[in-house]
Amino acid sequence: MKIVITGGAGFIGSNTCVDLISNEHDVVCLDNFLTGKRENIEHLLNLPQFSLVEGDIRDLDTCRKAVKGADLVLHLAALGSVPRSIADPVTTNDININGSLNMIVATRDEGIKRFVYAASSSTYGDSESLPKVEHIIGRPLSPYAITKYVSELYADVFAKTYDMECIGLRYFNVFGRRQDPKGAYAAVIPKFTALLLNHEGPVINGDGTFSRDFTYIDNVIQINKLALFTKNKEALNEVYNVAYGESSTLNELYEEIKSNLSQYDSNLSSIKSVHGPNRKGDIPHSLASIEKAQRLLDYNPLFSLKSGLEATMKWYWDHKSSLEV
């Protein structure tokens, strides 16, 4: 298969590129390197199965160029981060809504039926029901959440109007190798890890009792492929939670990270976190039901937070010389 991955130089995208190429698929990576990293795909650039289209999904002609002759599209490109969307809602909207519309239009016009796209657990908004099930959502709490929900609405309309096969994947707090710890909007696990490796204690937002369903990258790669290749007609034109199905508090997460890294440097075990104010737009608790994905996509996540962190901390330790915060 020839598969287009937008945001293919990003954390989830680059890991998925590597896996698909190892399974003998041809991959076209579309990325503008706004948040993606060239070093994530450098080792792929000379492979005959890999090609890079450097460009922006906000440009429709670039999207058309990327999907030319492709069989499947996996649309991961987005401007992530709730705080960043609060600071700059215009750019978040432009990339996540206009860019996504360009990609689904280009996919339709190229005659490609299957369009798999990254949705987000932020879509659940102020809904307090736990675990999160796909058909019960609340009101969005951030511009980012709005943009990701609009992508779901567009996909639903395109599926019904243009006979496309659209599958949305609501990722829950993904972590793992190649996740960038740098910058103000870094995700919590790489941020905590990089600070610890620099012998600094992190600031935990709030009292640390907020909880999340942390999801290891290999679980995500598994469901990305299931969505791309499923032959189950019932599974099409649906949205799925992508998670492990267990939640941990930020305090528990920090202790687990510290415990893992202390195996490599015992001095880290005494480093304490400090607590700061709650972050705007954050929901207190997030826990996914993965029953729908298990039933319709045969999703079977193999990595818990514990086993995923063991693999992730080893990767960060092996690459610690290149980590900064």
Three-class DSSP category at 96: helix
Cβ atoms within 10 A of the Cβ of 56, count? Answer: 17
Per annotation, catalytic residue among 124, 144, 216, 240: 144
Whole-angstrom Cα distance, residue 73 to residue 210?
35
Q: Terminal CA-to-CA distance of the chain, rounded, Å?
A: 39
Q: Which residue type, as a one-letter code, is found at position 161?
A: T
Please indicate whether residue 144 is annotated as part of the active site.
Answer: yes
Whole-angstrom Cα distance, residue 188 to residue 98?
28
Whole-angstrom Cα distance, residue 93 to residue 310?
36
Sequence-ordered list of residues with C-beta below 8 angstroms from that of 164, at least 6 positions apart, any chain: 104, 107, 108, 113, 114, 115, 158
Residues recognised as catalytic: 144
